[in-house]
Structure 1
Amino acid sequence: MIDKSKKQISEKHQRILDAAIEMFAEKGYASTSTSEIAKKAEVAEGTIFRHYKTKKDLLLSIVSPTIATFIAPHFTKAFSKEVLQGDYASYEEFLRTFAYNRYEFLKQNLPIIKIFVQEVAFHEEFQKPYVKLFKKEILPYFKKMILHFQEKGELKQLPPETIMRFTVTTIAGTILTKQFIAKELDFEKELDEAILFLMGGLKQ
């Protein structure tokens, strides 16, 4: 649910947002019509268009605040401080902290994150702020972490950006598979196997 404290809105408007989040997450943006959203929200379809010119405006109103309120302070600055600026005995220890931190974040914000993941590839508006924040808040600390373990002789002398890509795709793939594709999987077991696989390729 969108937090009413962020912006005072009417009960009907709130129902529209809640219905849109639920249906976009369940069916996808392209497969959801404004008439379906209106029916679920128990409002006339015209009520939606009094607040939003188009269905895409409605989508942006849901995801754009997420970028501003979650991606900026939590996904980047807080994540950087909580995870990337930590002191780890090994790269493997860092991987576990990284994985569990993102796994909990995803569970807590699942509907909106699901919409973001589904739609980010198709809407440039979602990509630009995300990429900008990543380059500013995540990339420098992630690179510093990798260089640290390369200097210790734990990681291969590959370009840090390459190790970063391998790390993110492996960990993110494990988390997303558990959350969206095979919910019956034992996350701890899958993560152990993913880390074993990753470290097998990255260790010096």
Structure 2
Amino acid sequence: MSQQDKMIEELFHNADELTEKQKKIVAAAIESFAEKGFAATSTSEIAKKAGVAEGTIFRHYKTKKDLLMAIVAPTMAKLIAPFVIKDFNKVLNHDFDHFEDFIKAIIENRIKFLKNNMSLFRIVIQEIPFQPELREQFKEHIAQKIIERLRQIVEHYQAKGQIIEMPPDTIIRVTLSTIFGYIIARYLLAPEEEWDDNTEIERTIQFLMNGLSLEK
């Protein structure tokens, strides 16, 4: 079973309210949008991948944009968000002794998750900047829940005297921007380069801790 098939199987594990045909359409839409982007994907391609007639899609969705919003956006709310948050909670709910250890765990957790779910990651990166509705879905169902937990974690390490006194939201933005900047370069922009992953991860952590740590 491919990583794509494993991702789809896990994504739909508790989605009993969807019919098998709906699951096939959603899976085909995710795969097609990830491969070619929303603009370059036709509904006929999605139908072919799903093994359904194109008319089956248009029976409920008048346009391709309707398909994106009516299938992918609710999928983010009902399926992707719990899927992402459940995995991320493995790190967020663990009490690390040092902030540096927490940062390393985030990087390793997100890399493992994204390597196994690259199609979802590509859709988020490619479409959210151009689709305000998807951006709102992402903020409502994923970002807000994670950010609040991250604020508590940052304040915890500030109280322990490990990181500088700075608004938690600023520390979160700097930290996540640095981590995902590395991940995007590594797996989307230049995956063909020769990467020394262990060294790059350590350098990323060192860069962050040089700016945030009080223990210098």
1:93 aligns with 2:104: no
Q: Following the alignment from structure 1 to structure 2, what is the Cα–Cα distance between the partners of residues 53 and 159? A: 46
Question: How far does the alpha carbon of each residue in 1:42-63 deviate from its partner, in whole angstroms, 9 at most, with x for none?
Answer: 6654343224221112223034
Residues 195 and 42 from structure 1, CA distance in 2 versus in 1: closer, same or farther, beyond 3 angstroms? same
Equivalent position amino acid for 1:98 in 2: I
Q: Please list every run of 5 or more consecutive structure 1 residues that lacks an aligned counterpart in the other structure.
A: none
Aligned to 2:19: 8
Residues 39 and 138 from structure 1, CA distance in 2 versus in 1: closer, same or farther, beyond 3 angstroms? closer
Aligned to 1:131: 139
Per the alignment, in what secondary structure is the counterpart of residue 147 of structure 1? Answer: helix
Correspondence 1:95-134 to 2 at 5 A:
95-134=103-142
Q: Following the alignment from structure 2 to structure 1, what is the Cα–Cα distance between the partners of residues 24 and 96? A: 45
Residues 63 and 107 from structure 1, CA distance in 2 versus in 1: closer, same or farther, beyond 3 angstroms? farther
Residues 197 and 47 from structure 1, CA distance in 2 versus in 1: closer, same or farther, beyond 3 angstroms? same
TM-score normalised by L of structure 2: 0.79
State percent identity of aligned pairs.
41
Aligned to 1:49: 58
Conserved in 2, the CA contact under 8 Å of 1:155 and 1:203?
yes
Residues 31 and 166 from structure 1, CA distance in 2 versus in 1: closer, same or farther, beyond 3 angstroms? same
Aligned to 2:84: 75
Conserved in 2, the CA contact under 8 Å of 1:85 and 1:141?
no
TM-score normalised by L of structure 1: 0.83
> What is the Cα deviation at residue 201 of structure 1?
1.1
Per the alignment, in what secondary structure is the counterpart of residue 191 of structure 1? Answer: helix
Paired residues in the alignment total 200
Equivalent position amino acid for 1:139 in 2: I
Candidates 42, 48, 52, aligned match of 1:33: 42
Conserved in 1, the CA contact under 8 Å of 2:100 and 2:209?
yes
Aligned to 1:178: 186
Q: Following the alignment from structure 2 to structure 1, what is the Cα–Cα distance between the partners of residues 83 and 102? A: 18
Question: How far does the alpha carbon of each residue in 1:133-191 deviate from its partner, in whole angstroms, 9 at most, with x for none?
Answer: 45653233211221222222221111111111111111111122222112242332221
Equivalent position amino acid for 1:23 in 2: S
Conserved in 1, the CA contact under 8 Å of 2:73 and 2:137?
no
Q: Please list every run of 5 or more consecutive structure 2 residues that lacks an aligned counterpart in the other structure.
A: 1-7
> What is the Cα deviation at residue 198 of structure 1?
0.9
Residues 40 and 139 from structure 1, CA distance in 2 versus in 1: closer, same or farther, beyond 3 angstroms? closer
Per the alignment, in what secondary structure is the counterpart of residue 197 of structure 1? Answer: helix
Q: Aligned-pair RMSD on alpha carbons?
A: 2.5
Equivalent position amino acid for 1:106 in 2: L
More displaced stretch, 33-42 vs 162-171: 33-42
1:191 aligns with 2:201: yes
